[in-house]
A and B are shown apart, each in its own frame.
Chain A
């Protein structure tokens, strides 16, 4: 949209010059307004990614150094047991977290969509954890899962003397406690997304199906769930994004322990870059995290931008 005054030709010359100046300003002002953002973006996003990529190819330890060692850090990473555990954990944690959130979200949304009294209040209750920091969530769940005084004790006080629930201190089970807390925090949001999707479905299609004598479960299976596909897609993107970036929840709940049994790539990166003086290795792990996000994101951004051109 160029805003050049079209009437400039039939005016006296002096004003035409002024108009020209104004037009020039009008053309360049928007770009000047964007310039700071543009520079920031170039430096702090793309420049830094390149910088981190460079660091990942050096043998930097406590301080960045620029002795290049090629892809040695990446090789080291894949021989590093702790990194492999972190990646496996991300697979287990991310997979379960996404699956349970989607299932719970769609389930609760369908239930809430049955003309429920007090729907607003229930929605509010399901969604409030999303407003909390993962640190707060982690602190609360850590206390609830405390093997001596937490939920275990509640059940024992009910008369089940031998009940044990000590997952949080069990290296094999601790990762699942992270899933519980993460689902608690995020599933309400997924529910809200699905509910919005359900409300957007054209009801005449459903009425037509009912007139044809289709049963309600069949209508859900054949019509409603398939039309929620875009919501599944966006929810999947958001949840996988949350999973890959998960850092604070682990920090607050398990600190990566017991041992390093609940390490995730994000905590691995932090530990090696800022506490274990392995900047090269930390950078390499950060680059791989970026790769993981990109693999999920590029198809999404492509569809997002294609959509906005028509808008």
Chain B
């Protein structure tokens, strides 16, 4: 991507360039510092933490904090680390992402290629669902989950995430399909292809990029969710974000900052990996959810 706003005819002096790089690097330090501190702290012993400071290197690299965070730290009543909660999160994320993405694709297809009277209004109403503060649905949903017998279960959380992820996935696919020429669909219809054939054989095969964007967006959103997890999960079914929060904010005993940091990295690692491996799509999802284009 070549820059267009700094034409080459404009001559920056050396000093100017130096200042720009210095500022950019200072900002980079600001963004990197917390991550660095987390990693350093997680490899230290508690004595080391007390005698050194945030940015001093560990006197000896130890993995004790990591093993304790994974399988021994207290998260409320239980003291078995965050391992089981990590798998809870996985159990919630996988089905919720797949189902909400698939339904979003179908909805986006209908909203762009099979418009009917009122479909625009319907889409507007759904779009609104992207933006409501979830506090306004928490209490009724808690009662509904209770009635359905899904209270405090991962199934219940999967259900909640599908329901409230739908608006986003539909928006993504609609914005993608709207740019696919209608002639493609018309031509297929003349060949006798029906509703589902067109979807499966023509639209889905070219939906690769938007499927990736949607899956990444949903995975990040659901993995990082705390509000639904803390309200609808309990004890054994909490996602990792809730477990991490319980671990850090338990008021009993000595605060083991090295364990806190190891647990925080464990909780952040999956989404961080997704970002590093597919950053381009991640950014595209961020902007697709907000800015048009």
Q: Which residues of A contact B (CB under 8 A)?
A: 1, 3, 26-27, 29-31, 33-34, 36-38, 40-41, 44-49, 51-52, 55, 64, 104, 108, 111-116, 119, 122, 124-137, 139-144, 146, 149-151, 153-154, 157, 184, 188-189, 192-193, 196, 198-199, 201, 203, 206-207, 210, 216, 224, 231, 234, 237-238, 241, 244-245, 247-248, 251-252, 255, 265-266, 269-270, 273-274, 279, 282-283, 285-287, 289-290, 292-293, 297, 301, 304-305, 307-309, 311
Contact = CB atoms under 8 A, between A and B. Distances in A.
A132 B271 CA distance: 6
A52 B139 contact: yes
Contacts of B110: 30, 33-34
Interface stretch (B70-78, B90-98, B125-133, B201-209): B125-133
Interface string B11-25: 010000100110110
A297 B131 contact: yes
Given A115-B3, A139-B244, A49 B137 contact: yes
B226 A290 contact: no
Nearest to B27: A108
Given A52-B136, A224-B5, A127 B122 contact: no
B290 to A, nearest CB: 5
B150 interface: no
Contacts of B291: 193, 196, 231, 234
B79 interface: no
Given A153-B54, A248-B241, A130 B286 contact: yes
Contacts of A41: 125-126, 129, 166-167
Contacts of A193: 287, 290-291
Given A29-B195, A135-B245, 18 more contacts: A3-B114, A41-B126, A41-B129, A114-B12, A114-B20, A129-B31, A131-B274, A135-B267, A143-B41, A144-B33, A146-B257, A196-B291, A201-B4, A206-B7, A234-B290, A270-B231, A290-B133, A308-B120
Contacts of A33: 106-107, 110, 195
Contacts of A37: 103, 107, 126, 166, 170
A44 B106 CA distance: 20
Contacts of B274: 131
B135 A269 contact: yes
A141 to B, nearest CB: 7
B231 A203 contact: no
B224 interface: yes
A149 B54 contact: yes
Contacts of B133: 244-245, 266, 286, 289-290, 292-293
B4 A203 contact: yes
Contacts of A29: 114, 195
A126 B12 contact: no
Interface in B240-292: 241, 244-245, 248-249, 257, 260-261, 263-264, 267-268, 271-272, 274-276, 279, 282-283, 286-287, 290-292
Interface in B176-230: 178, 182, 185, 189, 194-195, 220, 223-227, 230
Nearest to A238: B290
A135 B244 contact: yes
Given A30-B195, A133-B226, A252 B248 contact: yes
Nearest to B138: A273
Nearest to B106: A33
Contact of B5 (A157, A203, A245): A203
Given A210-B9, A270-B231, A255 B249 contact: yes
A252 B249 contact: yes
Given A1-B114, A139-B264, A112 B257 contact: no
Contacts of A289: 133, 135-136
Interface string B137-157: 111110100000000000000
A41 B287 CA distance: 24
Contact of A184 (B31, B53, B122): B31
Contacts of A251: 226, 230, 245
A40 B162 CA distance: 10
A127 B137 contact: no
B27 A126 contact: yes
7 contacts: A27-B116, A44-B141, A44-B163, A131-B275, A140-B35, A290-B132, A301-B124
A128 B275 contact: yes
A188 B30 CA distance: 11
Contacts of B223: 133
Given A127-B279, A127-B283, A136-B264, A111 B24 contact: yes
A305 B274 CA distance: 32
A126 B267 contact: no
Residue from B135, B136, B225 with most neighbouring chain A CB atoms (10 Å): B135
Contact of A55 (B34, B50, B139, B244): B139
B38 interface: yes
Given A44-B163, A192-B283, A199-B1, A207 B49 contact: no
Contacts of B4: 199, 201, 203, 206
A26 B194 contact: yes
Nearest to B125: A41
Contacts of A26: 194-195
Nearest to A42: B125
A179 B138 CA distance: 26
